[in-house]
């Protein structure tokens, strides 16, 4: 499984909103400008996040988006599942070799455990620690 731009940019949106949690709605245009992303593409990503109850929209001149829950209550797994679908590394059938099938299940479970234990709050705290090694992870 490779996390697409939908998942990566979705995490970017949510981390940006988490950094501004409690400060009122954030215009999507400002998120796009801060991160050098397409506002139109972010609009496509915010809709499923809103439908899943992770963000709320506020209309009006001072409108925008804000988290629907505390950053401690939203995990990376929540976001990835909304934007990417179920977390699976490989497709397999019951006819596949049980040893290989069990290996892929254990790897998937380890990834799910990490995503589900990583909150937005922990992500923004990690990004604020000054350690910007620029790692790119492919799963």
pLDDT band of 101, cuts 50, 70, 90: confident
- The predicted pLDDT at position 137 comes to 53
Report in angstroms the alpha-carbon separations of 51 from 37, 56, 97: 22, 9, 39
Query: CA 112, CA 76: separation in Å to the nearest integer?
Result: 9
Helices (H), 36-97: 39-51, 76-84
Give the tokens for residue 101.
Answer: 């099938």
Cα–Cα distance, 139 to 126 (Å, whole number): 20
pTM for the predicted model, two decimal places:
0.85
Q: What is the CA radius of gyration of the chain?
A: 17
Distance CA 82, CA 131 (A): 28
**Residue 84 pLDDT more than 70?**
yes
pLDDT in tens, 18-76: 999 999 999 999 999 999 999 999 999 999 999 999 999 999 888 999 999 999 999 99
């Amino acid at each position: 499984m490779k996390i697409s731009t939908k998942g990566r940019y979705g995490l970017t949106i949510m981390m940006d909103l988490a950094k501004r949690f409690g400060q009122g709605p954030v215009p999507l245009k400002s998120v796009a400008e801060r991160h050098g992303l397409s506002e139109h593409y972010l609009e496509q990503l915010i809709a499923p996040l809103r439908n899943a109850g992770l963000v709320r929209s506020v209309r009006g001149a001072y409108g925008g988006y804000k988290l629907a829950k505390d950053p401690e209550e939203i995990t990376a797994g929540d976001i990835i599942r909304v934007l990417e679908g179920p977390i699976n590394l490989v497709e397999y059938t019951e006819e596949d070799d049980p040893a290989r099938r069990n290996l892929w299940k254990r790897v998937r479970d380890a990834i799910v455990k990490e995503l589900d234990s990583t909150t937005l709050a922990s992500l923004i705290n990690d990004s604020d620690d000054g350690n910007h090694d620029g790692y790119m992870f492919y799963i």
